Amino acid sequence: MRLSAVDKKILNAIQENIPIVPGHFEVMAHNIGITEKELVEKIRKLREKKLIRDYSARLNHGTLGFKSTLFGFKVPEKKIAEVVDAIVPFGEVTHCFQREGEYNIWVAFIFKGGRDKVFLRKITKLIGKGNVLNLKTLKKFKLKTKLEV
**Per-residue pLDDT tens digits for 63-98:** 999 999 999 999 999 999 999 999 999 999 999 999
Return the pLDDT at 27. Answer: 95
pTM: 0.79
19 versus 46: the higher-pLDDT residue is 46
Return the pLDDT at 109. Answer: 97
Return the pLDDT at 57. Answer: 80
Answer yes or no: is pLDDT of 143 > 90.
no
> What does the mean pLDDT of the chain come to?
93
Question: What is the pLDDT averaged over residues 117-142?
Answer: 94
Answer yes or no: is pLDDT of 10 > 80.
yes
Residues 6+ apart with CB under 8 A from 95: 106, 107, 108
* Residue range 44-62, pLDDT digits in tens: 999 999 999 888 888 888 8
Residue percentage of the chain with pLDDT more than 90? 80
Return the pLDDT at 18. Answer: 87
Answer yes or no: is pLDDT of 17 > 90.
no
Answer yes or no: is pLDDT of 145 > 80.
no
